[in-house]
């Protein structure tokens, strides 16, 4: 059995052996980078294996990589401050076997490309910020606010919306200075967690901002905390600012308020 004297002798010998050696490097940054690389490789492999099966089962059609003459560009687009990544858009058939009309809003080619690039940037940011169990993210063609995310082999509908706010929601800050507390930046609004969806909402200048994941089981693939973490990222605010300055969605319906304090109270529920 080792005695205390034996342990002290061993420790002294180790100290003398390491005298004069440089300190060990900090391995944490290397481990973080390697973990991110492995996560990206894992997502790519799982997405490739499950993409066709999952999309087919839910009436989704993955669009091919865009080329000359295509309507909606799917070229690699950088996230604000991030790496270039491409996320193939999908077409959702509300009635299986009945493709939706192309360009339902009659937008110009330039506007469709602008919205497609916005979706690509948002998808890349979501891919980085959502939990690792999310192994696939695809924008929905011609639906600026909609995405399909994959977790544990199942696909869920996600909405990331920036819509012009109704007049009642804008009234709270209408007569206040632009830098007034509570009227600048993303202002927290209603949060909702049900068996059908997880939602968090914000006000930003002239827009309502919403992040929602629709679920079909008790354990949701994304939690409110995950959605809040997305909203806290400065790159998310950049995308919100652009959508607020040049809206890509129709005006939001009014909130059904549960009191007289208005949207600024964070209470109430959006009419749908």
Residue 207 pLDDT exceeds 60: yes
Whether residue 17 is contained in a domain is answered as no
User: 3-class secondary structure for the chain?
Assistant: CCCHHHHHHHHHHHHHHHCCCCCCCCCHHHHHHHHHHHHHHHHHHHHHHHHHHHHHHCCEEECCCCCCCCCCCCCCEECCCCCEECCCCEEECCECCECCCCCCCCCCHHHHHHHHHHHHHHHHHHHHHCCCCEEEEEEECCCCCEEEEEECCEEEEEEEEEEECCHHHHHHHHCCCCCCCCCCCCEEEEEEECCCEEEEEEEECCEEEEEEEECCCCCCCCCHHHHHHHHHCHHHHHHHHHHHHCCCCCCCCCEECCCCCCHHHCCCEECC
Residue 183 sits in which domain range? Answer: 28-270
Which of 88-92, 165-169, 205-209, 228-232 has the lowest average pLDDT?
165-169
Whether residue 13 is contained in a domain is answered as no
pLDDT band at 168 (very low <50, low <70, confident <90, very high): confident
- The whole-number pLDDT of residue 41 equals 44
- For 120-132, how does the pLDDT look when each residue is reduced to its tens digit (9 = 90+)? 999 999 999 999 9
Whether residue 122 is contained in a domain is answered as yes
How many domains in the chain?
A: 1
Whether residue 90 is contained in a domain is answered as yes
Whether residue 106 is contained in a domain is answered as yes
- For 248-270, how does the pLDDT look when each residue is reduced to its tens digit (9 = 90+)? 999 877 654 333 333 333 334 44
Whether residue 217 is contained in a domain is answered as yes
Whether residue 256 is contained in a domain is answered as yes
- For 26-57, how does the pLDDT look when each residue is reduced to its tens digit (9 = 90+)? 545 445 545 554 554 455 444 444 443 344 54
Whether residue 153 is contained in a domain is answered as yes
- For 70-122, how does the pLDDT look when each residue is reduced to its tens digit (9 = 90+)? 333 333 344 444 444 689 999 999 898 999 999 999 999 999 999 999 999 99
């Amino acid at each position: 059995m080792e005695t205390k004297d034996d342990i002290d002798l061993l420790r002294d010998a180790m100290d003398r052996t390491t005298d004069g050696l440089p300190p060990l490097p900090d391995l944490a940054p290397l481990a973080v980078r390697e973990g991110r690389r492995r996560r990206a490789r894992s997502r790519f492999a799982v997405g490739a294996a499950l993409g066709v099966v999952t999309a087919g089962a839910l009436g989704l059609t993955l669009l091919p990589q865009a080329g000359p003459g295509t309507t909606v560009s799917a070229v690699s687009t950088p996230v604000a401050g991030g790496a270039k990544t491409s996320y193939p858009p999908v077409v959702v058939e509300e009635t299986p076997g009945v493709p939706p009309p192309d360009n339902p809003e009659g937008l110009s080619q330039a506007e469709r490309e602008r919205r497609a690039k916005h979706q690509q940037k948002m998808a890349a940011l979501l891919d980085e910020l959502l939990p690792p169990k999310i192994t696939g993210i695809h924008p929905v063609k011609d639906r600026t606010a909609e995405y399909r995310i994959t977790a544990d082999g199942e696909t869920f509908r996600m909405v990331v919306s920036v819509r012009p706010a109704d007049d009642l929601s804008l009234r709270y800050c209408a007569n206040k200075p632009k830098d007034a507390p509570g009227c600048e930046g993303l202002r927290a609004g209603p949060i909702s967690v049900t068996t059908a969806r997880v939602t968090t909402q914000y006000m930003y200048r002239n827009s309502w901002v919403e992040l929602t994941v629709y679920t079909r089981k008790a354990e949701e693939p994304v939690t409110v905390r995950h959605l809040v973490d997305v909203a806290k990222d400065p790159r998310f605010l950049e995308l919100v600012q652009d959508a607020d300055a040049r809206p890509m969605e129709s005006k939001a319906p009014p909130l059904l308020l549960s009191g007289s304090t208005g949207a600024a109270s964070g209470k109430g529920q959006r009419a749908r």
